Amino acid sequence: MADKPDWRSDGRDWPNAGASRFLSVGGLDWHVQVAGEGPDLLLLHGAGAATHSWRDLIPLLATQFRVIAPDLPGHGFTGTPHEALSLPTMARRTAAVLRALEARPALLVGHSAGAAVALRLALDGAAPGAGVVGINAALKPFAGAAAPLFRTLALGLFANPLAIGVFSAAARDAARVKRLIEGTGSHLDARGIELYGRLFRRRGHVSATLGMMGAWDVQALLDDLPRLEGRLTLIVGDRDLAVPPAVSRGVAASRPGTEVVSLAGVGHLAHEEAPDAVAEILARLARQERAS
C-alpha cells in the first residue's frame, strides 16, 4: 500500500522503539514490540491505531510479563495483505505471529476492534487456556457502535479513495486530530495527539482502517461466544462515546461469568488515559489465571 507509515521517518521516536522488531510471517512484514520476561501477554490495538496506543502500558506490564504487541495488518508499520482485512483474517495472521514467537499467552488483551480479534483467537484455539480481556470492546457492528472518528472517515471515503488524501492532509492540523479523539470521549496529551496524527497523515494507514471497517462482521463471533472456554473480562470507560458501556454489559448479560470492570472518568482510549489502573486490573487477572 502506497504511503504507509515509514519506520525511518515516522518511527524515528516511536514509543518503546527499543522493543520493536520486524518479522516476515506468512508473506507479510510485521512490526511487533516484545518487552519484558514472564508469562506471555498479548496486546491488540483497535482499528486506526498501532502499538503507540500501548506506549505507557507496555513498560508497566513488562515488569511482570513478556508483552507482545503487534501492529495489526495494514496498520502502523505492518504491511497490508492482499486479502480482505476481515476478523478471521486478522485472527489467523496474528496467530501465525504467535507461533513464530513461540508464544503461549496467559492473557489476550484487545482494545475496541482488537478485543474482537482476541476473542476470535481464543475461540479458534490459538491460545489454549488464555483469558480474554476487552477494553471498550467493539462487539457490535461498526454501523452501530462506530467512534465519531471512524464515522468521519467512513462518510464517503471508502467509496472515494481521493477523499482519503483530503482526510490525511487535514490530519496535519493537530487541532482537528484532537477534536476527533475527543469525540470518542477521551482526552490525550499533546504526545498522544501527535502520534495519532502521524498515522492519520499516511493514506495507506487510513485506507487499511477503512478496509478493516468495510470487512468487519462480528455476528459470527457473537454466535460462537457461548463456547468460549476461558475467562472473559470487559473493561469499560464510563465516558466512552464510541462503544457505549451498554455494549459490554449486554455481552456480559448473555454470557454468565463475564466480569465487567468500570473505570471512571475515561473514554474510549481508557488504556491511554489510565494506564496504571488498567495495568493493575491485568495483573490481578493474570494472578487469577495462574491460580485457576
pLDDT tops 70 at residue 6: yes
> What pLDDT, on the 0 to 100 scale, is given for residue 236?
98
Neighbour tally for 183: CB within 10 Å? 18
Return d(Cα 51, Cα 197) in angstroms, integer: 14
Mean pLDDT of the chain: 89
Question: Model's pTM, two decimal places?
Answer: 0.92
**DSSP 8-state class, residue 234:** E
Residues whose CB falls within 8 Å of the CB of residue 234, separated by 6 or more in sequence, listed in order: 115, 133, 134, 137, 248, 251, 252, 258, 259, 260, 261
Collapsed DSSP state (helix, strand, coil) of residue 212 = helix
pLDDT tops 50 at residue 242: yes
pLDDT-based confidence at residue 74 (cuts at 50, 70, 90): very high
Rg (CA), the chain: 17
Residues whose CB falls within 8 Å of the CB of residue 223, separated by 6 or more in sequence, listed in order: none
pLDDT-based confidence at residue 66 (cuts at 50, 70, 90): very high
Nearest CA-CA partner of 282 in 235, 247, 239, 236: 235
pLDDT-based confidence at residue 148 (cuts at 50, 70, 90): very low
Return d(Cα 292, Cα 283) in angstroms, integer: 14
Neighbour tally for 223: CB within 10 Å? 9
Tens digits of per-residue pLDDT, 202-220? 988 988 887 787 777 888 9
Rounded to the nearest 10°, the torsion over CA 33, 65, 73, 47 is -110
**Phi, psi (deg, nearest 5) at residue 12:** -60, -35
